[in-house]
């Protein structure tokens, strides 16, 4: 692609105006030819290979191996096994592009449209720290490391591809979702361009788990979580999930795999921040099914909030930014914190998208023959619990930057003890609405 131009990039997404994104919704698609084998004692990946399987992810540090092959071979493997499952992205994702003349209260031209950062007092938090020294893993569709708002942050040497598609860490088609999530965490606040991230001084590690065909495997996601810990990440953001997964049968087996993996990450210094999901479900009453990874014991589960009527010019129609979003999964037994994820009311056809979350985006480009021709880097509005989780991940990075001695559960406790009360109570907000300024003040 030629030299980046803000105007040309905005033109490239002009046709996308008018839709709604609720972030990543993934559903269990089907069994794959992969199996998750639970190892015992001194069982090694080599022992699994000796049964005729080909090892894809060696996670013996948490007691599992992900391998490919036939079920006949899996039965010969030394330990219990279950089929790995694939998850598919919801393909009905639309978005709205940005007016490049948006008003701003900072050097970043689009800050005036970032109700999410304004509601959290992010510029005030930056007077204490911008997150320097903290490291955050983005476990997602891939991050456009060349985006002008992200190029300063992505550590490409540490970034990894867990899909097996051979395309490298960054998604060749742009990684629109992962790029949006990454910008919420760490968009550059000093380049007089684009948006502001919560922790622009933090380092990002791109852990891509969605292949170019839009699928991710449970085993690949677990491998990325474990890798985040070994790569020294203070925080791992997981803006994805599947609901409902049956608690019985292989659901229980996979839940145990998740629990052991997240426990391993926590013990090794990585706080896992997960979105609760976009089904509008009360997870307190989900009975025989489970939402993963949000319901993992070691995950900090984040629900979504958002305003109605932001920037419409009529304060009388506006609901606050801490208003629970109707699509957000909730439940006092699951939600730990709430954060801005976006809201919407299509009764405002000329400005409903202002209530979504504005962040970085990467749009695939194609030549006349239909071949991929690079990506245009721009900014989009999107909404979902996928957008809420990285708000909290960013605040966790700020806290870790101020006091690197804090362990993951201690960081979580700081966030929970300083969270603000919000309408809807524990069912929608858990301990409350995340407050980065109060969190940092509590450390002084």
**Strands (DSSP E) along 62-145, which ranges?**
64-68, 81-89, 96-97, 135-140
The catalytic position among 330, 386, 400, 429 is 386
Exposure of 234 by Cβ count < 10 A (0-12 exposed, 13-18 middle, 19+ buried)?
A: buried
Cβ atoms of 83 and 32 closer than 8 Å:
yes
Peptide bond into 293 cis (omega under 30): yes
Which residues, including other chains, have CB under 8 Å from residue 238's CB and lie 6 or more apart? Answer: 139, 140, 221, 225, 272, 273, 274, 275, 293, 299, 389
Distances (CA, A) of 3 to 290, 303, 361, 364, 375: 47, 39, 17, 16, 12
Q: Which of 442, 432, 433 is nearest to 399 (CA)?
A: 442
Distance CA 378, CA 72 (A): 49
3-state DSSP assignment of residue 59 = strand
**Strands (DSSP E) along 149-234, which ranges?**
160-161, 203-208, 215-217
Query: What does residue 349 show for φ and ψ, rounded to 5 degrees?
Result: -65, -20
380 forms beta bridges with 97, 359
Q: Give CA 356 to chain center in angstroms.
A: 16
Rg of the chain on CA atoms, in Å: 21
The catalytic position among 126, 147, 177, 312 is 177
Other beta carbons within 10 angstroms of residue 212's beta carbon come to 16
374-388 exposure pattern, b = at least 16 Cβ within 10 A, e = fewer:
bbbbbbbbbbbbbbb
The catalytic position among 140, 149, 189, 286 is 140
Whether 383 is a known active-site residue: answer no
Whether 140 is a known active-site residue: answer yes
Q: Give CA 429 to chain center in angstroms.
A: 18
Question: Which position has the token pair 């629990």?
Answer: 259
Whether 177 is a known active-site residue: answer yes
Residues known to be catalytic: 140, 177, 386
């Amino acid at each position: 692609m030629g030299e980046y131009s803000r105007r040309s990039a905005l033109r490239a997404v002009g046709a996308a105006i008018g839709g709604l994104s609720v972030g990543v919704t993934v559903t269990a698609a089907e069994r794959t030819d992969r199996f998750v084998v639970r190892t015992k004692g001194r069982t090694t990946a080599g022992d699994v290979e000796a049964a005729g399987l080909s090892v894809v992810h060696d996670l013996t540090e948490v007691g599992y191996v992900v391998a490919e092959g036939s079920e006949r071979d899996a039965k010969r493997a030394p330990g219990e096994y279950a089929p790995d499952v694939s998850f598919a992205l919801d393909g009905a994702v639309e978005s709205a592009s940005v007016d490049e003349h948006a008003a701003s209260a900072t050097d970043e031209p689009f800050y005036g449209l970032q109700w999410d950062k304004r509601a959290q007092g992010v510029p005030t938090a930056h007077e204490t720290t911008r997150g320097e020294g903290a490291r955050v893993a983005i476990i997602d569709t891939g991050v456009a490391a060349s985006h002008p708002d992200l190029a300063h942050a992505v550590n490409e040497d540490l970034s990894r591809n867990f899909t097996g598609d051979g395309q490298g860490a960054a998604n060749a088609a742009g990684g629109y979702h992962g790029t949006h999530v990454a910008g919420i965490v760490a968009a550059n606040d000093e380049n007089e361009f684009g948006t502001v991230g919560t922790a622009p001084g933090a380092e990002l590690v791109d852990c891509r788990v969605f292949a170019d065909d839009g699928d991710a495997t449970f085993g690949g996601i677990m491998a990325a979580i474990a890798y985040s810990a070994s790569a020294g990440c203070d925080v791992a953001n997981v803006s994805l999930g599947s609901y409902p997964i049956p608690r019985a049968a292989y659901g229980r087996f996979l839940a145990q795999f998740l629990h052991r993996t997240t426990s391993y990450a926590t013990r090794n210094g990585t706080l896992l921040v997960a979105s609760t999901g976009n089904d509008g479900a009360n997870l307190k009453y989900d009975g025989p099914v489970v939402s993963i990874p949000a319901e993992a014991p070691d995950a900090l589960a984040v629900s979504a909030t958002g305003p109605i009527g932001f920037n419409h010019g009529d304060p009388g129609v506006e609901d606050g930014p801490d208003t629970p979003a109707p699509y957000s999964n909730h439940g006092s037994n699951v939600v730990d914190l709430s954060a801005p994820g976006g809201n919407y009311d299509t009764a405002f056809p000329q400005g409903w998208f202002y209530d979504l979350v504005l962040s970085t985006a990467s749009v695939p480009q194609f030549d006349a023959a239909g071949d991929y021709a690079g990506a245009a880097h721009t900014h989009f509005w999107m909404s979902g619990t996928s957008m809420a989780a990285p708000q909290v991940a960013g605040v966790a990075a700020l806290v870790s930057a101020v006091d690197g001695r804090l362990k993951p559960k201690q960081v979580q406790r700081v966030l929970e003890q300083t969270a603000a009360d919000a309408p809807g109570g524990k069912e929608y907000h858990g301990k409350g609405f995340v407050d980065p300024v109060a969190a940092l003040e509590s450390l002084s």
